[in-house]
Structure 1
Amino acid sequence: MSVLQLPLPSRIQAPKICPCNPRGGAVITRAASPVVNAAAVLPKNLIGIHSGVFVGDWRPEDAERAVKGAKEAGFDLIELNLSVPEEVDAESTKKVLEKYDLKASGSLGLSRATDISSSDAEIRKNGIKLLSGALKALKVAGGKYFVGVNFGAMDKYREPLTAEQWKHCVASLKEVASEAADYGIEYGLEVVNRYETNILNTAQQARELIGDIGMDNVTIHLDTYHMNIEENSMEQAIQAAGDKLGYIHIGESHRGYLGTGSVDFTGLFRGLAASGYTGPLTFESFSSAVVSPSLSNTLCVWRDLWDDPDDLAVKAHSFIESNWAAAYQLYSRPKAWSKPV
């Protein structure tokens, strides 16, 4: 993480977007002296970006383009789309990552045909096979974080989860999380909105599922896009996740430029700082300008929210780094919460 000189604000201010660039320009905050060295006090969180910002496929030229773009924008980590793990050349991916000195995480969303919470044993078997393949690819590539909707189908359900499906989910996750543990991989369960799963919609539900799984390498993956829909507040969700919070997706309410939508980023970074969070902060954004066959329709990416991946990436990195630094200096404390949220 680069050394960042930030003035210490007298009180936290909501991030503002520079009026000279309404698409997502530099973040500005009201501030007063003294100037402090943010890098000297910040925890060494990896700042990451989803590969889908740059490319839709993962051919050798795509891997080069995405990893190079992420590095040049200042990121420490790139999140790989492992929805079709056999299409990812893990060995060559590892070489590209080493070439640009970048770390990797991996993610996917299961389908109805690979739903490990299903009452159909064959469907659960297919899901476990897919997850195992993704974990193996991530291990070879050198990644340490496996996240996403890796606990059930990423789809719209019209009925609540049954007790039987919950049990199937727990049993399946114990199996795949055990394999992840053997590889030294943290298995993060992404909490998403009610239109994308009927299993985990809140941090509290994820905490309960992890309790039933009972494995140390299973953690909670929170995403601001989904938190903005389902949680009472960013701070409450972070507090509910507690020490099981392992991965964060930083995304805007419309999945475009950060700071141009309705997500409460002030609350997010304040909550993370107060909790002492040290995991990755990964930017996620999608536009039909970059088409991924395995993601575009699943995520309903049908609009051109942006058309310049490099500009988007640079501004996202600046937004995350500057707002995280400002919040951390104001709200990090030996005791996480000084007042109810």
Structure 2
Amino acid sequence: MSKIGVHSFVWSAGSSRDELERTLTRSHELGYKLVEFSYLDPKLVDVKWLASRIRDLGLDVAVSMGLPSEGDISSDDQSVVANGEAILDRAVALVRDLGGTKLAGILSSSHGKQEHALSRKGWDTSVSTLSRVADRAKEAGVTLNLEIVNRFESNMLNTAAQGLAYIKDTGASNVFLHLDTFHMNIEEADVGLAIRNAADKIGYVHIGESHRGYLGTGNIDFAGIFDALVAIGWDDYVTFESFSTAIVDKDLSLKTAIWRNLWDDNVALARHARQFIELGLETARLKAQLVKNAHAPSA
């Protein structure tokens, strides 16, 4: 069985106890092993209760986020950078307190379309700031997974190769890439080759379709992606991410330009996605065996 996760926004953009409980139980019932939450404010959510429910259901948990413009750690304004560093520290603490090990998302700069090119100073400021966060995250048992996103959502890390250069500059052992097929489909020369090239620095994977809807109904070459994941021996989580106007988070829906209703029935969507990923990875494994295994005639 593959390790497959689901983003909570498939179920709900809310954070009431009832909504969180429904997210956990539906994910568990459909065979998902991890639930990914966008950052939850501990002042508004009972973190101890949520951590206990996650444990009760035998689930793993990840947290993703995008830094706001007022917390951009690549900024020239040191007060903005300091605010971003504090935001990241709080997110690390949330992951730890929920019993997780992965903080993912747009952690190196603010999330959203930028009106200027990144400067060398901005790169260096981001690297040094994230390095400090990584040191503290290491003590908390948390990895930082830098999401590589398309040009309309960041001006810093748009390809896996850029992410590898950034990780090298941090010198941190607990900073990895968060790869997302939706973004890679826009920016990479070849998604499969990019996965192979980044193999040992991948920490988290998002599976999403080119239009964010049902897997297999867009133009992404999932067979090639699953082949690459099998080829590098990927045995960690792949998490399904999908957005529709059926479920709206005001902030994220605007930043990711979710203007169309790509599905209404989230149970059918999530069931299909888990089966699609499971079968895709299993097929890739069978292909790899056929390529590698040759048998002499038996008689």
Shared fold (TM-score, shorter chain, > 0.5): yes
Matched with 2:265 is: 308
Which of the residues 77, 95, 98 maps onto 2:34?
77
Contact 2:153-2:255 at 8 Å conserved across structures: no
1:266 counterpart = 2:223:
yes
> For 2:290 and 2:43, how far apart are their aligned partners in 1?
45
> For 1:264 and 1:84, how far apart are their aligned partners in 2?
37
1:210 counterpart = 2:192:
no
The one-letter amino acid of 2:143's match is: E
Contact 1:83-1:109 at 8 Å conserved across structures: no
> For 1:175 and 1:113, how far apart are their aligned partners in 2?
19
What secondary structure does 1:106 align onto? strand
The one-letter amino acid of 1:213's match is: T
**TM-aligned CA distance change 1:332 to 1:163, over 3 Å:** farther
**TM-aligned CA distance change 1:137 to 1:334, over 3 Å:** farther
Contact 1:49-1:78 at 8 Å conserved across structures: yes
Matched with 1:129 is: 86
Matched with 1:154 is: 111
Cα deviation, residue 88, structure 1? 3.5
Matched with 2:148 is: 191
> For 1:233 and 1:63, how far apart are their aligned partners in 2?
37
Q: Deviations for 1:20-60, whole angstroms, at most 9, x for unmatched residues?
A: xxxxxxxxxxxxxxxxxxxxxxxxx5210000000111111
Which of the residues 70, 91, 107 maps onto 1:113?
70
1:49 counterpart = 2:9:
no
What secondary structure does 1:295 align onto? helix
Q: Deviations for 1:264-297, whole angstroms, at most 9, x for unmatched residues?
A: 1011001111111122100000111112233221
**TM-aligned CA distance change 1:91 to 1:294, over 3 Å:** farther
1:68 counterpart = 2:25:
yes
CA RMSD of aligned residues (A): 1.7
Contact 2:15-2:40 at 8 Å conserved across structures: no
Matched with 2:54 is: 97
Cα deviation, residue 241, structure 1? 1.1
* Structure 2 unaligned residues grouped into runs of 5+: 293-299
Following TM superposition, the consecutive aligned residue runs of length 4 or more in structure 1 with deviations greater than 3 angstroms are 83-88, 332-335
What secondary structure does 2:61 align onto? strand
Higher relative contact order (CA 8 A, sep 6+): 1
The one-letter amino acid of 2:260's match is: R
Contact 1:276-1:332 at 8 Å conserved across structures: no
Which of the residues 102, 122, 126 maps onto 1:165?
122
What is the TM-score normalised by the length of structure 1? 0.83
Contact 1:82-1:88 at 8 Å conserved across structures: no
**TM-aligned CA distance change 1:80 to 1:313, over 3 Å:** same
Cα deviation, residue 89, structure 1? 2.7
Cα deviation, residue 162, structure 1? 0.4
Cα deviation, residue 140, structure 1? 0.7
Q: Deviations for 1:60-101, whole angstroms, at most 9, x for unmatched residues?
A: 111101011111111000001106454343211112212221
Cα deviation, residue 203, structure 1? 0.5
Cα deviation, residue 319, structure 1? 0.3
Contact 2:147-2:178 at 8 Å conserved across structures: yes
Contact 1:90-1:141 at 8 Å conserved across structures: yes
> For 1:98 and 1:192, how far apart are their aligned partners in 2?
31
Aligned length: 292
Contact 1:154-1:197 at 8 Å conserved across structures: yes
> For 1:332 and 1:109, how far apart are their aligned partners in 2?
39
Q: Which has the higher helix share?
A: 2
